[in-house]
A = this chain, B = another copy of it.
Amino acid sequence: MSDSRIYTAALIVIGDEILSGRTHDKNIAQIASWTQVQGIRLSEVRVVPDVLERIVEAVNALREGYDYLFTTGGIGPTHDDITVDAVAAALGVDVIVHPEARAILEQYYADKPGGLTEARLRMARVPEGGELIPNRMSGAPGIKLGNIHLMAGVPHITAGMLDALTGTLEGGTPLVDETIGCWTAESEVADILRQVEKAHEKCQIGSYPFFREGKVGANFVIRSTDRDELGSAVDTLCDALATAGFDFTPGGI
């Protein structure tokens, strides 16, 4: 029997570098893929600048509407790292130096030039009540506080933090999906897609057009929490495409 409750998450990507176009965000896709495997559906993302009020506003807008809230960015040692202060302000709690985080940083910087400087000690600051999320890449931990998870901005550090969280968040039945690709304009297949989705109400079908090698094509992604329904919808779509004379590629193009 499957758990029919849908667990949801929101993500706040914090950083001027994303909004200036300087850095291409990789955390949205990374966290989306990870939550999906945990049976949690990423349902909204907001990208906001390194401005305290804007982060506070986003945290307060999202922390109650979803089961989980993630943030990426702004937990480093420099003056533009203000995520901890913003989350503390949003929750109305103080910022404290977490003893365990301080111990981790003391050890991490023991053999590095300068040792645990005041700037580095900033990375031990947590909103009061926060627990640590291990960071095996670079010492400074992430923070978990209620349903809020503060992660790094650097994608490979966030990847390590997600590893540490794997299996610790309650989720529902994961969405599964199958992809069918066609070297054809999606507009030619639109009616078929609509009919197949209508006939399989436990499935959603997305159509993702592309242009490659001088030709148009599209991938059709069918998603469901029910594997049997998914399989049935895939069969229906393949039959319909074959009947209409379209070449298609199971697995996608």
Asked if residues B114 and A188 are in contact (CB atoms below 8 Å), the reply is: yes
Chain B proximity mask over A24-52: 1 for CB below 8 Å, otherwise 0:
11101111111010000111111111100
Chain B proximity mask over A1-32: 1 for CB below 8 Å, otherwise 0:
00000000000010111111111111011111
For the complex, give the distance between the alpha carbons of A6 and B86 in Å.
Answer: 24
Distance in Å from the Cβ of A93 to the closest Cβ of chain B? Answer: 24
Number of interface residues of A (CB under 8 A): 75
Distance in Å from the Cβ of A233 to the closest Cβ of chain B? Answer: 14
Asked if residues A77 and B30 are in contact (CB atoms below 8 Å), the reply is: no
Pick from B18, B78, B154, B190: contact of A78, CB under 8 Å: B190
Asked if residues B185 and A112 are in contact (CB atoms below 8 Å), the reply is: yes
Interface segment out of the listed A94-102, A127-135, A143-151, A207-215: A207-215
Interface segment out of the listed A165-173, A191-199, A224-232, A235-243: A191-199
Asked if residues B18 and A190 are in contact (CB atoms below 8 Å), the reply is: no
Asked if residues B29 and A26 are in contact (CB atoms below 8 Å), the reply is: no
Nearest residue (CB) in B for A19 is B42
10 tightest A-B contacts by CB?
A21-B32, A119-B190, A21-B33, A45-B47, A77-B187, A78-B207, A79-B194, A120-B187, A78-B190, A24-B29
Query: Which residues of A pack against B, CB within 8 Å?
Result: 13, 15-26, 28-34, 36, 41-50, 54, 76-80, 112-114, 117-120, 122-123, 137-138, 153-154, 156-157, 175, 177, 185-191, 193-194, 197, 204-211, 216, 221, 223
